[in-house]
């Protein structure tokens, strides 16, 4: 274990920052744990860090101990309304990389206006868990290549779906519903329910956009949630993604908070 003592603002004793595991640090004031820091790799291959501390000085000391020991770049996410936490990460050398608005939306088609949102002729919606995995991965890869090729647009995708180093971006095929033509898939939507239901991704191939496919996918996904008894769902939209903003606000989704992804 690595230990780094600092003068304490909490008591007459020194606060000691100790590396207790590969990517885990603790701050001790005598035998009392007064803070901790950790780092973890997310599915997209990026390293995210977090610090929990009782006092701003302790936060800063944990940051000074742990951040130089970790490979750059480093990322963290904060609620934009939490000015104190945002300032703490800024002191640690982080800057704003992206801002995402969190939206909440009803699932009842009478509230969203999606009761008549059907896919265009020749297109069907395949429910989650029934998609052909090979075709699903093909449309996911095609859409991501199209987004990547459009300069500046990749950063408007949700943070969680930035391309993974291995190139495999479909983590759980059972979570995806798709819009299908006879020979290929044209679009996809992913809904994940952990504590609450989230639309993590809705995307359509470039040449198939403006045909109502995204609305049809949303109508299917939200309608499925509504029939299961879920009354609301959430999503995150990058502030520069005007198309996604228009799509969700067009069905009555309303912003409830914003998150900042910070990078060092």
**Percent of the chain clearing pLDDT 90 (strictly above):** 70
Does 94 map to a domain? no
CA dihedral (237, 241, 170, 43) positive or negative: negative
Write down the residue that tokens 């750059």 correspond to: 72
Does 87 map to a domain? no
pLDDT of res. 13: 52
Does 76 map to a domain? no
Does 7 map to a domain? yes
- Assess whether 238 and 160 both reside in one domain: yes
Low-confidence ranges of the chain (pLDDT < 70): 1-13, 43-44, 150-168
How many domains is the chain built from? 2
Cβ 16 vs Cβ 5: under 8 Å? yes
pLDDT digits over 148-161, tens only?
776 444 444 554 44
- Assess whether 205 and 161 both reside in one domain: yes
pLDDT of res. 7: 39
Does 81 map to a domain? no
- Assess whether 128 and 224 both reside in one domain: yes
Instruction: Select from 139, 154, 137 the least CA-distant residue to 213.
Output: 139
Cβ 125 vs Cβ 216: under 8 Å? yes
- Assess whether 35 and 110 both reside in one domain: no
- Assess whether 53 and 105 both reside in one domain: no
Angle between helices 242-249 and 213-227 (to 10 degrees): 50
HEC string for 182-247: CCCEEEEEEEEEECEEEEEEEEECHHHCCCCHHHHHHHHHHHHHHHCCCCEEEEEEECCCHHHHHH
Whole-angstrom Cα distance, residue 169 to residue 103? Answer: 23
- Assess whether 218 and 117 both reside in one domain: yes
**Helical ranges in the chain per DSSP H:** 56-66, 83-91, 109-112, 133-149, 213-227, 242-249
Write down the residue that tokens 């049809």 correspond to: 216
Domain final residue, candidates 71, 92, 109: 71
- Assess whether 114 and 64 both reside in one domain: no
Write down the residue that tokens 């809705």 correspond to: 202
pLDDT of res. 30: 82
pLDDT digits over 104-127, tens only?
999 999 999 999 899 999 999 999
- Assess whether 125 and 18 both reside in one domain: no
The two three-digit tokens of residue 178, written as one number: 């798709």
pLDDT of res. 44: 67
- Assess whether 140 and 45 both reside in one domain: no
Instruction: Select from 205, 72, 80, 225 the least CA-distant residue to 147.
Output: 205
Does 263 map to a domain? no
Does 217 map to a domain? yes
- Assess whether 139 and 60 both reside in one domain: no
Whole-angstrom Cα distance, residue 138 to residue 181? Answer: 13
Domain final residue, candidates 71, 92, 117: 71
- Assess whether 116 and 206 both reside in one domain: yes
pLDDT of res. 8: 38
- Assess whether 191 and 133 both reside in one domain: yes
Give me the domain span that covers residue 6. 2-71
CATH of the domain at 130: 3.40.630.30
Residues 6+ apart with CB under 8 A from 178: 125, 126, 131, 135, 136, 139, 185, 186, 187, 188, 189, 217
Does 59 map to a domain? yes
pLDDT of res. 144: 84
Cβ 97 vs Cβ 86: under 8 Å? no
């Amino acid at each position: 274990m690595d230990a780094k003592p600092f003068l304490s603002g909490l008591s007459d004793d020194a606060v000691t920052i100790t590396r207790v595991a590969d990517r885990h640090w603790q701050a001790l004031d005598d035998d009392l744990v007064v803070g901790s820091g950790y780092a973890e790799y997310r599915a997209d291959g990026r390293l995210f860090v977090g610090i929990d501390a009782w006092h701003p000085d302790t936060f800063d000391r944990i940051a000074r101990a742990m951040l130089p020991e970790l490979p750059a770049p480093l990322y963290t996410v904060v609620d934009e309304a939490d000015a104190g936490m945002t300032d703490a990460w800024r002191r640690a050398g982080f800057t704003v990389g992206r801002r995402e608005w969190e939206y909440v939306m009803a699932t009842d088609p009478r509230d969203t206006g999606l009761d008549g949102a059907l896919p265009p002729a020749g297109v069907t919606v395949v429910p989650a868990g029934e998609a052909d995995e090979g075709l699903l991965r093909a449309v996911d890869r095609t859409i991501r290549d199209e987004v990547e090729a459009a300069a500046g647009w990749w950063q408007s995708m949700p943070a969680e779906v930035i391309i993974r180093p291995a190139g495999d971006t479909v983590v759980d095929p059972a979570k995806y519903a798709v819009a299908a033509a006879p020979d290929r898939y044209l679009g996809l939507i992913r809904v994940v329910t952990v504590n609450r239901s989230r639309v993590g991704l809705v995307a359509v191939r470039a040449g198939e956009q403006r045909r109502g496919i995204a609305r049809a996918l949303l109508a299917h996904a939200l309608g499925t949630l509504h029939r299961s008894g879920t009354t609301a769902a959430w999503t995150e939209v990058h502030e520069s993604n005007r198309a996604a903003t228009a799509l969700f606000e067009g069905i009555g989704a309303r912003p409830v908070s914003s998150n900042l992804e910070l990078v060092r």
